[in-house]
Structure 1
């Protein structure tokens, strides 16, 4: 667990295990750490206390969509180019917005599906 500074705020990040990175989106009003029964060899659980939860700094006006930006910052900090997303209860909407942050679905066949971060190639943008 550590604090990730984002400008004038901080996110309390959880990083447990080794293996395939999986972001856990906790329910409401829980904190970020996934339940211990989910800990398995080969899985690296990543999560954070959403703004205003636990020791993460509140973010006035925060929306569910801001979760995509927070996950992007954490993934960048950890050097992750691909990861899976899992949620529980109130974490569902937060997990669903992750693809909004320059993330595309990977064609991997086994659940949980991985998200591969990318930027669209220049050829897919429309001319000005």
Structure 2
């Protein structure tokens, strides 16, 4: 079974994402900020990370940059999932190492499509 780490400071978003991902046969773990996500990735790297941009403690973009410099045996695929839709934000996310980008709110079909694009569905 594929694994996904949902990183978002909103419990509601994490719950919705978990529900969708579980219907897509993913084992799901959650983190409320980038620092917590980094700790979880170091303990057990997931296949894919669904990552929010704006979070306390460590933002999604900061997390992504640190993840790119880490020595994990295999880097997880990263799908940025955020309300930030400006071209500058999208480019910054891709430049920092994101594999895909999805806008909130999202639905099952959109998320399934993005996961297929990055090769984990």
Which has a greater percent of helix?
2
TM-score, length-scaled by structure 2: 0.35
Which has more strand, going by share of residues? 1
Q: With structure 1 as the length reference, what TM-score do the two structures score? A: 0.34
